[in-house]
Structure 1
Amino acid sequence: MARLKDLYKSKIAEQMQEKFGYKSVMAIPKLEKVVLSMGVGNAIQDKKYLDQAVKDLTAISGQKPLVCKAKISVSNFKLRAGEPIGCKVTLRGEMMYEFLDRLINLAIPRVKDFRGLSTKSFDGRGNYSIGFAEQSIFPEIDSVNMFAPQGLNVTFVTSADTDQECREMLTMFGMPFKK
């Protein structure tokens, strides 16, 4: 599964240096980390939702997620500070490239009515975020025994300075952006 990492080292880095004219190899943008997160609002009433989210995120990422707690109390949502409300995983190195490969080749093609990823989700600093309506697009999740569909956010953190550099790098990895 280190196919994408090898591809980056051999071809993508060369093409990026040629296209953007980097003088040093160290100036070429790299994918630093991938952060997967799930906000579980229903965890306030029933802890089973959070347990299921942790189980699903563990299956998708291959490592145990960190349970995130509410920082402030919000009376309208019956939420108290310190209550568990979501979970997240940060992937780096080999696991990051393995996840990226599975996302591009297995998960994204399973999205219903898929017409390409939005190009409006760049943050202006060379990072990109995607939101999925439910986690069942990943082959590791058994949709028959799924407790409840839950949203999943994926953020790609790069060392690119501009959105154009980030988009070009992710396109070379195989991300299917809208034309």
Structure 2
Amino acid sequence: MLDTANYTPRLKDVYASTIKPAMKEEFGYKNDMQIPGLEKIVLNIGCGSEAVNDSKKAKSAQEDLSAIAGQMAVITKAKKSIAGFRVREDMPLGAKVTLRGDRMFEFLDRLINIAMPRIRDFRGVSGKAFDGRGNYAMGIKEHLVFPEINFDKIDVAWGMDIVICTTADNDAEAKALLKHFNMPFNS
């Protein structure tokens, strides 16, 4: 039986024992509080036009995202009506979840070591998708690469947005942090 009181995610241990000292030496930080770390990871699935035609699609996306994240996802709703897209205000259009703490480290571990190698024709992720403030955004075309998803029970393969928010001040520090976590950058 797993002792959850004393359990620490693998990447959290790696961060504390090897990544923090390596970052301190690489960038010459004088104080440990200057060393960048992970703040949160935000996952989002947008159902788009399929949710407009069938309101159960957003519920399906919420269930899949909850299984992937390990915590309950929230259904996102339209903020205002758009007649051209047949969208009404408060219509369910997708799902999102924000991961922090141990769940964030567990998800990042599964993303890098299990899900990304399962992506078809995978050549790494773009090293240019930083926002200028140390946050990294990426997309996955199919959420089926996660082992938590039962392939036989899926009716639609959703795309997924993943935003990794760090405490880094700039993109160079954030990229170095993610490289230490073995994020497979192609540039």
Aligned with 2:29 (options 8, 22, 30):
22
Contact 1:2 1:94 in 2 (8 A): yes
Render the CA deviation track for 1:96-126: whole Å, top value 9, x for unaligned: 0000111111000000000111112111110
Contact 1:49 1:147 in 2 (8 A): no
Q: For the residues of structure 1 that align with 2:14 and 2:102, how far apart are their CA atoms?
A: 13
Render the CA deviation track for 1:108-161: whole Å, top value 9, x for unaligned: 000000011111211111000110111001011122221111111110000001
SS of equivalent to 2:71: coil
* Structure 2 unmatched runs, 5+: 1-7
Asked if 1:49 corresponds to 2:57, the answer is yes
- The letter for the 2-side match of 1:80 is R
Q: For the residues of structure 2 that align with 1:91 and 1:47, how far apart are their CA atoms?
A: 26
Contact 2:51 2:57 in 1 (8 A): yes
Q: For the residues of structure 2 that align with 1:63 and 1:177, how far apart are their CA atoms?
A: 28
- The letter for the 2-side match of 1:25 is D
Identity %: 50
Aligned to 2:9: 2
* Structure 1 unmatched runs, 5+: none
Contact 1:72 1:80 in 2 (8 A): yes
- The letter for the 2-side match of 1:176 is P
1:14: how far off? 0.7
Aligned with 1:134 (options 115, 139, 142):
142
Aligned with 1:109 (options 106, 114, 117):
117
- The letter for the 2-side match of 1:48 is K
1:40-79 counterparts in 2 under 5 A? Answer: 40-41=47-48, 42-79=50-87
Q: For the residues of structure 2 that align with 1:70 and 1:121, how far apart are their CA atoms?
A: 26
Q: For the residues of structure 1 that align with 2:18 and 2:26, how far apart are their CA atoms?
A: 12
1:75-94 counterparts in 2 under 5 A? Answer: 75-94=83-102
Moved segments of 4+, more than 2 Å: none
Aligned to 1:35: 42
Alignment root-mean-square deviation, CA: 1.0
Q: TM-score, normalised by structure 2?
A: 0.93
Q: For the residues of structure 2 that align with 1:62 and 1:125, how far apart are their CA atoms?
A: 28
Q: For the residues of structure 2 that align with 1:47 and 1:40, how far apart are their CA atoms?
A: 10
Q: For the residues of structure 2 that align with 1:47 and 1:149, how far apart are their CA atoms?
A: 16
Aligned to 2:170: 162
1:48: how far off? 2.1
Q: For the residues of structure 1 that align with 2:118 and 2:13, how far apart are their CA atoms?
A: 26
Contact 2:59 2:75 in 1 (8 A): no
SS of equivalent to 1:50: helix
